[in-house]
Amino acid sequence: MQALKSEIRDGMRIDWDMPIQMDDGLILRADIFRPIHEGKFPTLLTYGPYGKGLSFQEGYKTAWEIMEKENPDVMRGTTNKYQNWEVVDPEKWVPNEYVCIRVDSRGAGRSPGFMANNNARETKDIAQCIEWAASQEWSNTKVGMNGISYFASNQWRAAAVQPPHLAAICVWEGWNDGYRESHRHGGIACTFRKNWMEMQVKTVQHGVGDRGKRNPITGDTVCGPETLSPEELIQNIENVWQKVLDQEMLTDWYVERTADLNKVTVPVLSSANWGGQGLHGRGNFEGYVRSASNQKWLEVHGGSHWAPFYTDYGIDIQKRFFDHFLKGIDNGWDKTPPISLLVRSPGEKFVQRDEHEWPLARTQWTSCFLNAGSMQLENAVPGSNSELSYEMMGDGVTFSLPVQAEEVELTGPMALKLFISSSTVDADIFAIVRVFDENNKELTFHGALDPHTPIAQGWLRASHRKLDPSKSLPYRPWHSHDEKQPLVAGEVYELDVEIWPTCIVVPKGYRIALTIRGKDYEYDGEAAVLSNMKNPMTGCGPFMHDDETDRPPAIFGGEVKILTGPNYPSNLLIPVIPKKQST
């Protein structure tokens, strides 16, 4: 049994490696940061696989350096010694009389066991950790969950099982649909999960022990205390990527890793990133709209995936939310408008605006019809039928609206209806909404991870075109992914492609365009690199779809024909937002 270490340092009482026993007897390990003085305090709990003892600065070096340079407010008011990837800095919360708990998930860091990320056992573990925290002598019995990405996505599932003492969740850039948002976009396997396991998870698996990092404060092994053989490590972790490759269609494995949003009833703050294409963005919007809570808020920002959470802006929002629901402070949060958008303009400029529903009720849903003859997007169905072809592994084809005669705002989800035929039994559609300036230079933004992200993206495998009519909306088609429907070469098929929500104010003189291709978007410029990501980032960050096992060239290297006109009204539905009338 590991000995519990408890000490007072930097104005906090810290309990290192606190044991929390699960119902199957397994002991999870947690670090607990709490006020020194006696009292009853609310708790912020996180549970995840990244090693609670691995410092942000060492584990995610380039991300830390970028944040340090671009967001100096993150560094103020803290020694930064306790910074950990994607979880709160306790030095900014404990002085406000919060307890911060970091639990190494089953099989990760200093917690033993078999690691199967996001499964039902993990959700049960989280619920039991919540109830354990609520029962401690220093607890006021109210537990909240707060964190980014993994530490956000598991909040949806934890809330759905309704542990009695979970009082509120702040889901900061967190997916909830294990199939559509995480592993298979439109049915196409996303290789992020393969690289993520190798770069971010296996490196901090329990049992790496002496071969891994050490906690810079305690000196203990991050992934200890035992050191297991490579063979033992393999036996202790689920092969996620093989599961994805083996299961193209929606199975119980994906459903187990998907939150039942109808059972999420606690107060919710869902914080999305306009640049969260490929993992988190959709989850925050869907989670806000479809969760059953009658106390829920949506906040949407831009910038990097990690930094806004730690900034004064982010922490102020989080503290007002949790002060209200975990401390019962009457701070006016209950009168906060349900939606806060940082409306995006060129030059990484953002203007905050309150709204009251999503999508916005005043949206002017506008159909832009593709014309394969002129390569234009037009405001009416073209008068005659036309068609054009592209090689799936090429750069695809681009349709453009005329140059904007006046400024226009696009905010919301989009949908693309396409009529296609393929030279093979399938086709992968990559739909990219783009904007070009007066000099025909593409406008990109700093996405959640990639600094050159396009305006919006959507994906669909043609054999997954079947829709669920009970869930589909005109602006958000919902594919059932329960029946593979191969194509007959040369025959025409109607596809509805979901394009994840976005926001852009397009200036006068700029041009909106749609590119359709059979492979991932590529930015025409220098690739970016993050130390914790395997592939250089060329516009899609780590969210690529380039595995030949899932996309054999014999099938997905063929030719696609797009058909337009009266018989084939291919069109892009965009959310035009009229200016608010002054009162």
pLDDT tens, position by position, 155-167: 999 999 999 999 9
Handedness of CA 472, 476, 477, 481 (dihedral sign): negative
Asked if residue 359 belongs to a domain, the reply is no
Residue 273's nearest CA partner among 150, 144, 175 is 175
Give per-residue pLDDT as tens, 247-261. Answer: 999 999 999 999 999
Asked if residue 112 belongs to a domain, the reply is yes
**Residues 46 and 37: beta-carbon distance below 8 Å:** no
Using alpha carbons, list the distances in angstroms from residue 422 to 26, 428, 480, 537.
53, 10, 22, 30
Token readout for 571 is: 């069109």
Between 534 and 558, residue with greater pLDDT = 558
- Total number of domains in the chain: 2
Domain that holds residue 532: 364-577
Asked if residue 152 belongs to a domain, the reply is yes
Cα–Cα distance, 250 to 575 (Å, whole number): 29
Residue type, 409: E
Using alpha carbons, list the distances in angstroms from residue 131 to 90, 104, 127, 360.
21, 16, 6, 38
Task: Identify the band that residue 527 occupies on the pLDDT scale cut at 50, 70 and 90.
Answer: confident
Handedness of CA 145, 148, 154, 156 (dihedral sign): positive
If asked whether residues 293 and 391 sit together in one domain, one would say: no
Residues in CB range of 367: below 8 A, 6 or more apart: 379, 571, 572, 573
Cα–Cα distance, 289 to 262 (Å, whole number): 10
What are the b/e assignments for 22-56, b being 16+ CB within 10 Å? Answer: beeebbbbbbbbbbeeeeebbbbbbbbbbbbbbbb
If asked whether residues 557 and 482 sit together in one domain, one would say: yes
If asked whether residues 248 and 377 sit together in one domain, one would say: no
If asked whether residues 16 and 127 sit together in one domain, one would say: yes
If asked whether residues 315 and 392 sit together in one domain, one would say: no
Question: In this model, does residue 1 exceed pLDDT 50?
Answer: no
Cα–Cα distance, 552 to 488 (Å, whole number): 17
Question: 395: burial class by Cβ within 10 Å (0-12, 13-18, 19+)?
Answer: middle
- Residue 11: left if φ>0, alpha if ψ -120 to 50, beta else—which one? left
Give per-residue pLDDT as tens, 326-336. Answer: 999 999 999 99
Cα–Cα distance, 111 to 444 (Å, whole number): 41
End-to-end CA distance of the chain: 67
Question: In this model, does residue 3 exceed pLDDT 70?
Answer: no
Cα–Cα distance, 130 to 163 (Å, whole number): 7
Give per-residue pLDDT as tens, 291-347. Answer: 999 999 999 999 888 899 999 999 999 999 999 999 999 999 999 999 999 999 999
Asked if residue 315 belongs to a domain, the reply is yes
For tokens 């494995």, name the residue. 253
If asked whether residues 427 and 389 sit together in one domain, one would say: yes
If asked whether residues 301 and 399 sit together in one domain, one would say: no
Least confident span in 27-36, 195-204, 396-405, 480-489: 195-204
Question: 470: burial class by Cβ within 10 Å (0-12, 13-18, 19+)?
Answer: exposed
Asked if residue 317 belongs to a domain, the reply is yes
If asked whether residues 226 and 316 sit together in one domain, one would say: yes
Domain end (from 317, 336, 355) = 336
Cα–Cα distance, 194 to 175 (Å, whole number): 17
Cα–Cα distance, 424 to 389 (Å, whole number): 13
pTM: 0.96
If asked whether residues 97 and 242 sit together in one domain, one would say: yes
Strands 339-345 and 296-301: parallel
Task: Identify the band that residue 530 occupies on the pLDDT scale cut at 50, 70 and 90.
Answer: confident
What's the pLDDT at 582?
A: 54
If asked whether residues 121 and 164 sit together in one domain, one would say: yes
Task: Identify the band that residue 2 occupies on the pLDDT scale cut at 50, 70 and 90.
Answer: low
If asked whether residues 240 and 376 sit together in one domain, one would say: no
Mean pLDDT, all residues of the chain: 96
Determine the average pLDDT of the residues in 160-189.
Answer: 98
Question: In this model, does residue 580 exceed pLDDT 90?
Answer: no
**Proportion of the chain above pLDDT 70, given as a percent:** 99
Asked if residue 561 belongs to a domain, the reply is yes
Give per-residue pLDDT as tens, 426-461. Answer: 999 999 999 999 999 999 998 888 889 999 999 999
Strands 376-378 and 456-461: unpaired
Q: What are phi and psi of 91, to 5 degrees?
A: -65, -15
If asked whether residues 62 and 109 sit together in one domain, one would say: yes
Asked if residue 350 belongs to a domain, the reply is no
Beta bridge mates, 454? none
3-state secondary structure 204-237: HECCCHHHCCECCCCCCECCCCCCCCHHHHHHCE
Strand ranges (E), 346-470 = 349-355, 364-371, 376-378, 386-391, 397-400, 408-422, 428-436, 456-461
Q: For the domain that residue 548 is a member of, what is the CATH number? A: 2.60.120.260
Domain end (from 318, 336, 354) = 336
Asked if residue 257 belongs to a domain, the reply is yes
Q: For the domain that residue 230 is a member of, what is the CATH number? A: 3.40.50.1820
